[in-house]
Structure 1
Amino acid sequence: MTALPTPVPTPRTEPATDAPRRGRVPALLAAMFLVNVFGYAANNAAIAVLLPSQVRSAAGDGAVAALALVNGVSAIASFGIPPLVGLMSDRTRTRWGRRSPWILAGGVLTAAALVLTGAVSTVTGLVIGWFLVQATINIGLNIILATIPEGIPAKRHGLASTVQGVGIPVGGIIGVQLGAALVDSVMVAYALLGGLFLIASVISAVLIRERSNTAQDAPDLAREPMGRQFLAMFSSLRDRDYRWVFISRAVIYLGYNTVFGFSLYILQDHIVLPAGLAPASAVATAQTTSIVFLTIGTLISGPLVDRLGRHRGFVLISSLLLTFSIVLPLLSPSWTMFLVQAGLSGFALGAFLGVDLSLATIVLPKTGDAGRDLGVFHIALNAPQVVAPFVAALAVQHLGGYHALFIVGGVFAFLGSLTVLRVRPQQVTT
């Protein structure tokens, strides 16, 4: 899963299991920020630097296909865990509430999975390790979102979205810089990242301070069989407008991750780097540049669309700009052009996310199950980064090398930009 902002829709029929309490908002915002910063630090460090480096050492010339395998198998965890864990946490009854135990468990399990991934040196070991990381890290990253409609007043949900969104690029910068600095000591890197995420999870679980819900009456969840709820996990995608927003985000992210998920290999095999600049350090520089501009784009586009409206138009323009940025290296395989691509694509993606968050909130259907439905929407971010390596491997190995990679990524981003036009304009007026 690649480290990027997740929308915070407000379910309209969520049971009031833990009504917002005065003075609790700052603690919830701090918990959300910590989980996102150190969760995405671990994820970005591994995806951008550590995992590709391990796969290259283990598979040699077959690294492209091997990385696709490692990420592809983890797709099972990325697709299934968020809604499933969200559903289970909705039904959890403990003296510490229903969210805190899951956040704490996610921190412990993620730390263990990261250490395991750092200890293995074969493709098979990396497949197992990375699958476990994706399965466990999504617990905390998804569950923390459910605390927003439950613990933060509706009039401050915008602030919660901003805090969560800023935490993700901050974590991304920390992750890629730490990964590049410790690329020759991957075990140390994974252990450090796991320890930081565990500490963040423990602090966040304490900050949430949920009430005991062991005697809480939740008749709707208690009476409905678990199997039936499991089968209904993706029912929100039956709504036409929500489905097209989901598809648009997923396809645009697929185009983005098809190219940027292979940044290390692009810089090793295709881009001409200045003398003395190592590919791992170049990845860290490019990723940091991209994340800085992503943050700027997000902060600009969100308030602007609130002021002007026209959500579909903003999404279309920002995603077309992303399409253009993805294909820029076709003009020149130089380090300067790659940096320009990183900055422009980061700004475009940030502008898209800032607007798309608002669009998704508007069209989200009534569900009554915050953990489950936020987990489903989380898949639109997770799925592309695990599918993209297969697409990238196909492009590089069978369609013409890295030139084909940029073209394929651009085509997906362009198609994703067009799908937002399927959302009915009358459904997104503000």
Structure 2
Amino acid sequence: MSQDNSSAAVQAKPASTVLSKIDKTRFCAAFFIFSFCWMLALQIVAAVLLPQRLSIIAPESKDAIFGVLNSATALASLISNLVVGNMSDRTRSVLGRRTPWIASGGLLAGVTLFLIGFLPDGVSIGVSYCLAMVGLNMMIAPVVASLSDRVPEDMRGTMSAFISAGTLFGSALGQIVGAQFITMMMPGFIISGIVMALSGILTVVFWPREASSKDMPKQKADFKSILVSFKPPVKGARDFWLAFVGRSFLLFSYYMILNYQLYILKDYIGLDDKSAGSTLSIMSLVLMVVSLISALSAGPISDKIGRRKVPVVVASLLLAVGYALPWIMHSPMGMILFSAIGGFGYGMYGSVDQALNVDVLPNEEEAGKDLGILNIATTLGQMVGPIVTSSIVVATKSYALVFPAAIALAVAGCVFIMLIKKVK
């Protein structure tokens, strides 16, 4: 994306600004609340209510349908994250570049997530679910971009830790809340819609008000210039693409297990609905504790020692061990230990993930667009992970091979991250 020097100066300035203690606290609170709320809302539906509903609507083909829905929504996320990241870079308003997208995205995601509870068939559910992902990424892309243009470099690990802690805490609590509505789903859908809508509103309320972008130099808005602006980074982008591939593989592995926890408990471990719900609640409580500890400690430590890759290596090993336990033990305790050990590892990785992504950007002037590309790795993880799991289950009629496949992907992701040179 071509810009003149004055535009570069305007955009580069916030990242080098020293934050006051109050602003630092407000950013920490905003990043935590945002990630906690959207993940809580999404997990109520994605981890519990949606798979449970599909098991009622289509019990014989629920695995395949769930894989298709996850893939469709991941594709919607991929496109919307990239587009919104780019367009938020180009937004000029009195509310700034990021704020308008965050507030409106929350409302869209909340309404459409809520509507899933009323829709009668898989097609209409899929459409509403995809729209919910569009709204969600209207929030995620600008929030992550703000790490580059509003947060100093030596605080990005800490802020990334709060994002990770909120995400993991929200994920765990979302599963607990969802499990309470496994036999009476409608109130769960209502709660998820309200919380999702609040995620965007509360974020812009809590964080320091974004400066107006109305007077920033405007960029060309013709079709050709907009199309060119989506060009992926090439020059000096080796580390950028290594981070992309490494992140993709690590998230492939995690979503292979995460999105199928309920089915693993029921179809692989052999639990009934009630026992599966109870075990899922225990797993969620364990995940909540360990993820908060690892996420809130690893990020600040990473800032202090000035290293990002060490936590990633440790996290990858812990993830691999976590995946192995239910495979070896084939019991509810194996899944609980997966939540404990794998959850600790994922919390550690997540606490430095976004900081590492910002650190490898080839051009911070295009942070929204390039971080949108890196966030495609998350979308690919959400999309490819369930496809791999669904394919393995359909082909083998078992979840047994899912776990070694996830281990191999976690190790591969770690190798790619270690090849990065720009970041220690």
- TM-score bucket of the superposed structures, by smaller chain: 0.7 to 0.9
Change (3 A) 1:317 1:144: closer
Report 1:15-414 matches (<5 A). Answer: 15-16=10-11, 19=14, 24-207=23-206, 208-214=208-214, 216-219=215-218, 222-223=219-220, 225=222, 227-233=224-230, 235-236=232-233, 239-273=237-271, 277-305=274-302, 311-312=308-309, 314-399=311-396, 401-414=398-411
Say if 1:236 and 1:367, in contact at 8 Å, map to a contact too: no
Q: Tell me the residue number matched to 1:9.
A: none
Change (3 A) 1:33 1:385: same
Q: Tell me the residue number matched to 2:3.
A: none
Change (3 A) 1:405 1:14: farther
Q: How many residues align?
A: 412
Deviation at 1:178, TM superposition (A): 1.5
Say if 1:395 and 1:408, in contact at 8 Å, map to a contact too: no
Change (3 A) 1:411 1:121: farther
Distance, in Å, in 2 between the alignment partners of 1:328 and 1:250 is: 23
Post-superposition CA distance 1:355-387 (Å, at most 9, x none): 544543433222412322222222222221122
Deviation at 1:122, TM superposition (A): 1.7
Change (3 A) 1:213 1:414: closer
Q: Which amino acid aligns with 1:118?
A: G
Distance, in Å, in 2 between the alignment partners of 1:14 and 1:31 is: 26
Please give the TM-score of this superposition, normalised by the length of structure 1: 0.86
Change (3 A) 1:121 1:282: farther
Mean Cα deviation higher: 38-47 or 377-386: 377-386
- 2:256 is paired with a residue whose SS is helix
Distance, in Å, in 2 between the alignment partners of 1:47 and 1:175 is: 9
Change (3 A) 1:84 1:280: same
Change (3 A) 1:224 1:17: farther
Q: Which amino acid aligns with 1:352?
A: Y
Distance, in Å, in 1 between the alignment partners of 2:30 and 2:13 is: 16
Change (3 A) 1:211 1:276: closer
Say if 2:315 and 2:348, in contact at 8 Å, map to a contact too: yes
Post-superposition CA distance 1:332-375 (Å, at most 9, x none): 21111221122111112223333544543433222412322222
Say if 1:15 and 1:368, in contact at 8 Å, map to a contact too: no
Say if 1:237 and 1:243, in contact at 8 Å, map to a contact too: no
Say if 2:160 and 2:352, in contact at 8 Å, map to a contact too: no
Q: Which amino acid aligns with 2:385?
A: A
Q: Which amino acid aligns with 1:319?
A: S
Change (3 A) 1:234 1:181: farther
Distance, in Å, in 1 between the alignment partners of 2:407 and 2:44 is: 25
Distance, in Å, in 2 between the alignment partners of 1:52 and 1:368 is: 41
Q: Which amino acid aligns with 1:177?
A: I
Deviation at 1:241, TM superposition (A): 1.4
Change (3 A) 1:226 1:30: farther
Q: Which amino acid aligns with 2:335?
A: F
Say if 1:169 and 1:292, in contact at 8 Å, map to a contact too: no
Distance, in Å, in 2 between the alignment partners of 1:27 and 1:186 is: 35
Change (3 A) 1:300 1:150: closer
- 1:364 is paired with a residue whose SS is coil
Deviation at 1:84, TM superposition (A): 0.8
Q: Which amino acid aligns with 1:100?
A: T
Q: Which amino acid aligns with 2:249?
A: V
Q: Which amino acid aligns with 1:264?
A: L
Say if 1:54 and 1:121, in contact at 8 Å, map to a contact too: no
Post-superposition CA distance 1:175-195 (Å, at most 9, x none): 112111122333321222211
Say if 2:103 and 2:200, in contact at 8 Å, map to a contact too: yes
Change (3 A) 1:175 1:266: same
Distance, in Å, in 2 between the alignment partners of 1:18 and 1:206 is: 23
- 2:357 is paired with a residue whose SS is helix
Deviation at 1:80, TM superposition (A): 1.0
Change (3 A) 1:24 1:417: closer
Distance, in Å, in 1 between the alignment partners of 2:366 and 2:223 is: 13
Q: Which amino acid aligns with 2:252?
A: L
Change (3 A) 1:260 1:336: same
Say if 1:106 and 1:140, in contact at 8 Å, map to a contact too: yes
Please give the TM-score of this superposition, normalised by the length of structure 2: 0.87
Distance, in Å, in 2 between the alignment partners of 1:206 and 1:312 is: 34
Post-superposition CA distance 1:61-120 (Å, at most 9, x none): 110001011111112211111121122122222233332221121121111111221112
Q: Which amino acid aligns with 1:209?
A: R
Say if 2:155 and 2:303, in contact at 8 Å, map to a contact too: no
RMSD: 2.8
Point out where structure 2 has 5 or more consecutive residues left out of the alignment: 1-6
